[in-house]
Amino acid sequence: MKKGKLFVVSGPSGAGKSTICKEVGKMIRIKLAISATTREPRAGEKNKVDYYFMTKEEYLRRRQNDEFLETAEVHGNYYGTLKEEVDESLSNGENIILEIDVQGGLQIKKKYPESKLIFFKTFTEKELENRLRNRKTEAEDKIMLRLKNSLEELKHEKEYDITIINNTVEQACSDLIKIIENENMG
């Protein structure tokens, strides 16, 4: 059986990664990996659907047991991708998207050099700030932390294979689908 392909989508908070990946998941046949996190669920988020929500203790125990492909502390919370989910999908011939932070993306590239790293960003930093504020999901201190971290994440864009500037959901979805289709033909 042909092994599946791994696509890693990263970029600053507010760049639209989650929205685009969910839309693309509805449009084409590709699995979206579910990340684990210690952060609190946002309104409407469900465990084992949006994230595997874990206590800090559970997360650290699983990290100690080497159950994660990648793990990072971002915005004061832990995030990671469970090995089992990704390896099972790839060995079953399924393509899979990991929507993860930049630190995690670079860790994945070392372990899976054949993976395709895709960096998402907005046209301007001001647009990024507007998107974060318009979500109305976080307090001002969290927004400022995300903006500060975004500047650091943008420095890693050159380490990714390709960049998508998310001007509109339709255009960004189309761009991501083209990348996935081109990889499947190669």
Give how far the C-alpha of residue 154 lies from the chain's centroid of Cα atoms, to the nearest Å.
14
Q: Which domains does the chain have, with CATH numbers?
A: 6-185 (3.40.50.300)
Give the alpha-carbon dihedral of 105, 18, 52, 132, to 10 degrees: 100
47 close to 41: Cβ distance less than 8 angstroms: yes
Q: What is the pTM of this model?
A: 0.86
Q: How many CB atoms lie within 10 A of CB 154?
A: 17
Q: How many CB atoms lie within 10 A of CB 121?
A: 23
Q: Give residue-wise pLDDT tens across range 81-118.
A: 999 989 999 999 999 999 988 888 999 999 999 999 99
Q: Give residue-wise pLDDT tens across range 5-49.
A: 999 999 988 888 989 999 999 999 899 999 999 999 988 999 999
Give how far the C-alpha of residue 91 lies from the chain's centroid of Cα atoms, to the nearest Å.
21
d(CA 132, CA 134): 6
